[in-house]
Amino acid sequence: MRELKIGKNDAGQRLDKFLGKALVDMPVSLMYKSIRTKKIKVNRKRATPEQMLAEGDTLQLFIAEEFFKDGGISDRNLDLSKINTKISVVYEDENILLVNKEAGVSVHEDEGNRKNNLITYILAYLWRKGEYIPEDEQSFTPALCNRIDRNTEGIVIAAKNAAALRCMNERIKDRRISKFYLAAVHGVPKRAEATLTAYLEKNEKTNTVRVCDTPFGSAKKIVTKYKVLKKRSDMSLVEVELITGRTHQIRAHFAHIGHPLVGDGKYGQNRNDRALGYKHQALCSYKLKFPVTEEKDMLSYLDGREFSVPSEDIFFTELF
């Protein structure tokens, strides 16, 4: 029998969700059976899968040792001491971290790329600061709250603890964060500023999207607000506010109205762009705003604040 004590980062989640993270090698069906047959208890009492855990609770687990992963849930056979912390911090406090991701860097690890990605850089950065100790965690790893494409640069939000992760995800879900992008587009839009509405459908097989002005198929409504900041005869710098946040929304929506992003090989014709050295889309998630609302939570101290990437740090602003 083993006993696990629920810590700060474990609390506030269902028992089955916690066990799914803490006992990664245990089959899900066996986990539910163990709860049902009282081989997994909470505070020495019969438990249910949906039972919410509180800090200080203790779990009694009468299960095989093979399902326990010594060294913490976050032991990923990855030596954080050897990871280069390639991050540019825009803002940081005890709960969250805002990082300016470079274009060309993926946000999460994928097959064959466990070391060179944003979340691994962040874990190594927090480990070096002593704010993340993998062996002390049973079910939590610092995580990203939003994501942007590999070839888009700009601000990505990371949560340092479980409570901040839940709170920030709730804010994003409720659209209590305003996201602004800068983009360099071909041509000059007819209107200096506008709110565009269309419908977007994603093709999972090709990882592309299609945009139309009227509803079709399984397409979802998109709303993109923009303002032209600077312009040349053949190009414009626009600020974009995402009212909705769909896959490739900005890139596809501007291509749809005849102004594809500079360097966008998926939705534009960028042979000339590549010849000029632009190997990826000229798009940066450059500013976040936290509006003041009546609803209060642990991150209310951010209300009324905004954070941005300096324009000189955005590679394509040199065009203007």
CA distances from 236 to 44, 239, 269 (A): 65, 10, 16
- Candidates 145, 88, 147; CA nearest to 309 is 88
Record: fold of 178-319: Pseudouridine synthase (3.30.2350)
pLDDT digits (tens, 9 = 90+) for 296-314: 999 999 999 999 999 888 9
pLDDT surpasses 50 at 75: no
Same fold, 81-173 and 178-319: yes
Give, in words, the CATH class of 2-67: alpha beta
191: buried, middle or exposed (CB in 10 Å: 19+, 13-18, 0-12)? exposed
* Rounded Cα gap, residues 126 and 134, in angstroms: 10
Would you state the pLDDT for residue 294?
Answer: 87
pLDDT surpasses 60 at 17: yes
Q: Domain coordinates of the chain in residue numbers?
A: 2-67, 81-173, 178-319
pLDDT surpasses 50 at 78: yes
Would you state the pLDDT for residue 73?
Answer: 43
How does the average pLDDT of the chain come out, rounded?
91
pLDDT digits (tens, 9 = 90+) for 243-261: 999 999 999 999 999 999 9
Catalytic residues: 149
pLDDT digits (tens, 9 = 90+) for 201-242: 999 999 999 999 999 999 999 999 999 999 998 899 999 999
pLDDT surpasses 90 at 54: yes
CB atoms within 10 A of CB 71: 11
pLDDT digits (tens, 9 = 90+) for 170-206: 999 999 999 999 999 999 999 999 999 999 999 999 9
Would you state the pLDDT for residue 276?
Answer: 74
Would you state the pLDDT for residue 74?
Answer: 44
pLDDT surpasses 70 at 107: yes
CB atoms within 10 A of CB 129: 11
Q: Which residue has the tokens 């009546």?
A: 294
Q: What end-to-end distance do the CA atoms of the chain give, in Å?
A: 66
Quick check: 138 and 22 in contact, CB under 8 A? yes
Beta-sheet pairing, 178-186 with 45-46 = unpaired
| 59-63, 109-113, 163-167: range with lowest mean pLDDT | 109-113
| DSSP state for residue 75 in the 8-state scheme | -
- Candidates 227, 180, 136, 162; CA nearest to 18 is 162
Average pLDDT over residues 159-166: 95
Average pLDDT over residues 146-161: 95
Would you state the pLDDT for residue 272?
Answer: 79
Q: Can you read off the two tokens belonging to residue 216?
A: 């079709």
Classify domain 81-173 by CATH number: 3.30.2350.10
- Candidates 271, 286, 37; CA nearest to 47 is 37
DSSP 119-130: HHHHHHHHHHHT
pLDDT surpasses 70 at 70: no
Would you state the pLDDT for residue 112?
Answer: 60
